[in-house]
């Protein structure tokens, strides 16, 4: 019952977002849109913040669809070349959070170009589109690091703030 | 009875490595090390240091503990994914090597990343003996 009500509210707000974004957003084409509601959920567990930001920046769940997170969590022993394994109980708690807080992301799962790797946020079509004016050389600057290091330019990225007006690309 | 015996034996056998003070995690690793190899003869900070600097070829480059933790574990390091890593040496970062679960998690991950295998209790004890001796 409660779930139904939540789903209804979720569906309504999604409709509203889509309606407004078709006017203001240039990313609505062929039904493929950039992820919405990127803000960090207020119920984000400390466990997730600690475990998923020890080696890299904290990626907010809405950046990938739920199924992509499931694939991430199933392959932690080979996580882009590193062993990021967790004990089963912690993995379960983190997966639960990722699944429920990425529900607003209705995008298809886009597999990584590298076989055997889980999906990469930086290889989604919306990411490519949003960064089409950023050169490969810019991404390789020492102060940027790589396409995976959102915080280099989006200083609020770990809170889910990717507002273009606040982007500062370091020299 | 048998616990006392193990503790007593641990203290004797580990004396050379523990001239100054005994790190709290070493007793447990000594028990494990003896289970894994009955000829266990104590931990060595020298071997622990060698483990830290050992370089392993990986994808045309070399990989070692220093790749992320730098050649001076009293300094902050950086992961390949651009995250800063707090210093590893307990002398400058007292939180290090205080939580066995955390210690085990990072040995599990990092031994696999660097050596493509699990580390033995002997190696873990050697390593802690060395890292804890750095001032």
Domain ranges of chain B: 2-131
- Which residues does chain B have with pLDDT short of 50? 1, 7-12, 14, 17-19
* Residue B109: closest C-alpha in chain A: A83
Contact A85 B108 (CB under 8 A): yes
Q: What is the pLDDT of residue A32?
A: 77
Tens-digit pLDDT string for chain A (171 aa)? 444 444 444 444 444 344 334 334 445 555 677 787 798 999 999 999 999 999 999 999 999 999 999 999 999 999 999 999 999 999 999 999 999 999 989 999 999 999 889 999 999 999 999 999 999 999 999 999 999 999 999 999 999 999 999 999 999
Q: What is the pLDDT of residue B12?
A: 47
Contact A56 B79 (CB under 8 A): yes
Sign of the Cα pseudo-torsion (A114, A120, A122, A125, in order): positive
Interface test with B, best of A79, A82, A145, A154 (most B CBs within 10 A): A82
Q: What is the pLDDT of residue B58?
A: 85
* Residue B82: closest C-alpha in chain A: A56
Q: Which of B79, B81, B113 is opposite residue A83, by nearest beta carbon?
A: B113
Q: What is the pLDDT of residue B113?
A: 96
Q: What is the pLDDT of residue A31?
A: 66
Q: What is the pLDDT of residue B4?
A: 55
CA A138 from chain centre, in angstroms, equals 21
Q: What are phi and psi of A11, to 5 degrees?
A: -60, -40
Under CATH, which architecture does the B2-131 domain have?
Orthogonal Bundle (1.10)
Contact B81 A83 (CB under 8 A): no
Provide the 10 A C-beta neighbour count for residue A133: 6
């Amino acid at each position: 019952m409660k779930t139904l009500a939540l789903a209804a509210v979720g569906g309504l707000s999604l409709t509203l977002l889509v309606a407004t974004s078709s006017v203001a957003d240039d990313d609505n084409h062929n039904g493929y849109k950039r992820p919405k509601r990127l803000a960090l959920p207020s119920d984000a567990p400390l466990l997730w913040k600690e475990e998923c930001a020890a080696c890299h920046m904290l990626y907010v769940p809405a950046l990938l669809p739920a199924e992509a997170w499931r694939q991430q969590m199933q392959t932690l022993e080979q996580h882009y070349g590193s062993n990021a394994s967790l004990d089963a109980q912690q993995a379960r708690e983190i997966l639960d959070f990722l699944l429920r807080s990425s529900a607003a992301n209705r995008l298809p799962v886009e597999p990584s170009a590298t076989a055997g790797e889980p999906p990469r946020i930086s290889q989604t079509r919306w990411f490519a589109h949003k960064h089409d004016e950023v050169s490969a050389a810019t991404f390789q600057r020492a102060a940027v690091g790589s396409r995976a290091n959102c915080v280099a330019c989006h200083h609020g990225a770990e809170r889910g703030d990717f507002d273009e007006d606040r982007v500062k690309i370091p020299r | 009875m048998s616990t006392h015996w193990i503790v007593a034996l641990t203290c004797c056998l580990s004396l050379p490595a523990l001239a100054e003070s005994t790190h709290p995690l070493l007793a447990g690793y000594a028990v494990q090390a003896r289970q894994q190899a009955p000829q266990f003869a104590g931990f060595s900070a020298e071997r622990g240091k060698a483990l830290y600097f050992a370089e392993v070829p990986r994808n045309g480059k070399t990989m070692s503990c220093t790749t992320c933790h730098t050649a001076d574990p009293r300094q902050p390091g950086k992961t390949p994914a651009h995250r800063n890593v707090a210093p590893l040496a307990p002398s400058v970062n007292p939180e290090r090597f205080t939580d066995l679960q955390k210690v085990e998690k990072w040995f599990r991950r990092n031994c696999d990343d660097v050596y493509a295998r699990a580390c033995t209790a002997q190696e873990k004890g050697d390593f802690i003996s060395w890292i804890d001796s750095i001032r």
